[in-house]
Chain A
Amino acid sequence: MIAAFITVVCILATMFAPWIAPFDPFDPAQISLWDGKLPPSWVEGGQPQYLLGTDNQGRDMLSTILYGGRLSILVGLAAVCMGMVLGVTLGVLSGYFGGLTDTIIMRIADIQLTIPGILLAILINGIGRTVLPLDMREDFAIFVVIFAIGLSDWPQFARVARGATLVESQKEYVQAAKVIGLPQRLIILRHVLPNTLRPVLVIATIGLALAVIAEATLSFLGQGIPPTTPSLGTLIRVGNEYLFSGLWWITLFPAIALVVLVFAVNLLGDWMRDALNPKLR
Chain B
Amino acid sequence: MSMLLEIDNLDVDFLTRRGTINAAKDVSLQVTAGEVLGLVGESGAGKSTIGNAIIDLLESPGEVSGGSIRFQGEELRGKNEDEMRRIRGDRIGMIFQDPQTSLNPLLRIGEQLVETILKTKRIGQSEAQKSAIELLESVGITEARARLKSYPHQFSGGMRQRVVIALALAGDPDLIIADEPTTALDVSVQAQILDLIRGLCKSRNLGVIIVTHDIGVIANIADRVAVMFRGNIVETGEVAQILGNPQHEYTKSLIAAVPRADKRLHRFASVDYIDGTGDQSSAGLQRIDINTHWLGKKSQLQLTAAQSSEASAIEVKDLSLAFKLQGAILKRNRRMLQAVDKVSFAIAQGEAFGLVGESGSGKSTVARLIAGLHKPDSGSVEIIGQNVLGNQKDPLVKAARLNLQMIFQDPYSSLNGRLRVLDIVAEPIRFYKQSDNEKHTRQLVHDLLDHVGLGGSAALRYPHEFSGGQRQRISIARALASRPRILICDEPTSALDVSIQAQILNLLKDLQDELGLTLLFISHDLPVIRQMCDRVAVMRNGAICEIATTEDLFNSPQHEYSQHLLELMPRMDVIGG
Contact = CB atoms under 8 A, between A and B. Distances in A.
Interface of A: 171-173, 175-182, 186, 190-191, 194-195
A195 B417 contact: yes
A172 B489 CA distance: 13
Contact of B372 (A177, A179, A186, A191): A179
B110 to A, nearest CB: 35
Nearest to A182: B431
Chain A facing B: main interface SS = helix
Nearest to B418: A194
22 contacts: A171-B413, A171-B414, A172-B408, A172-B409, A172-B410, A173-B414, A175-B408, A176-B408, A176-B475, A176-B478, A176-B479, A178-B372, A179-B373, A179-B405, A180-B428, A180-B482, A181-B398, A181-B402, A182-B427, A190-B419, A194-B416, A194-B418
B191 to A, nearest CB: 31
B129 to A, nearest CB: 41
Given A171-B413, A195-B417, A179 B371 contact: yes
A184 to B, nearest CB: 11
B415 interface: yes
A105 to B, nearest CB: 19
Contacts of B398: 181
Nearest to B481: A180
B444 to A, nearest CB: 15
Nearest to B398: A181
Give the 8 A-B CB pairs with smallest separation, nearest first: A172-B414, A172-B408, A171-B413, A173-B416, A194-B418, A180-B428, A179-B406, A172-B413
Interface residues on B, range: 20 to 34
Contacts of B417: 195
A172 B490 CA distance: 11
Nearest to A191: B416
Residue among A175, A186, A191 having the largest count of chain B Cβ atoms under 10 Å: A175
Contacts of A178: 371-373
A247 to B, nearest CB: 54
A191 B423 CA distance: 11
Given A181-B398, A181-B401, A176 B414 contact: yes
A176 B482 CA distance: 12
B404 interface: yes
Given A194-B418, A195-B418, A180 B405 contact: yes
Interface in B362-420: 368, 371-373, 398, 401-402, 404-406, 408-410, 413-419
Nearest to B392: A181
A171 B402 CA distance: 21
Contacts of A173: 413-416
Given A173-B415, A180-B478, 5 more contacts: A175-B371, A175-B406, A176-B406, A179-B405, A181-B482
A186 B431 CA distance: 10
B43 to A, nearest CB: 19
Contacts of B413: 171-173
Contacts of A186: 431
Contacts of B373: 175, 178-179
A195 B417 CA distance: 8
B497 to A, nearest CB: 20
B93 to A, nearest CB: 30
Contacts of B482: 180-181
A180 B409 contact: no
A279 to B, nearest CB: 14
Nearest to A180: B428
Interface-centre pick from B368, B413, B419, B482 (highest chain A CB count, 10 A): B413
Contacts of B402: 181
A180 B404 CA distance: 8
Nearest to B301: A181
A173 B463 CA distance: 12
Interface string B445-472: 0000000000000000000000000000
A177 B427 contact: yes
Nearest to B416: A173
A195 B479 CA distance: 22
B477 to A, nearest CB: 12
Contacts of A176: 406, 408, 414, 475, 478-479
A182 B414 CA distance: 16
Nearest to B424: A173
Given A172-B409, A186-B431, A179 B404 contact: yes
Nearest to B415: A173
Contacts of B406: 175-176, 179
Nearest to A183: B431
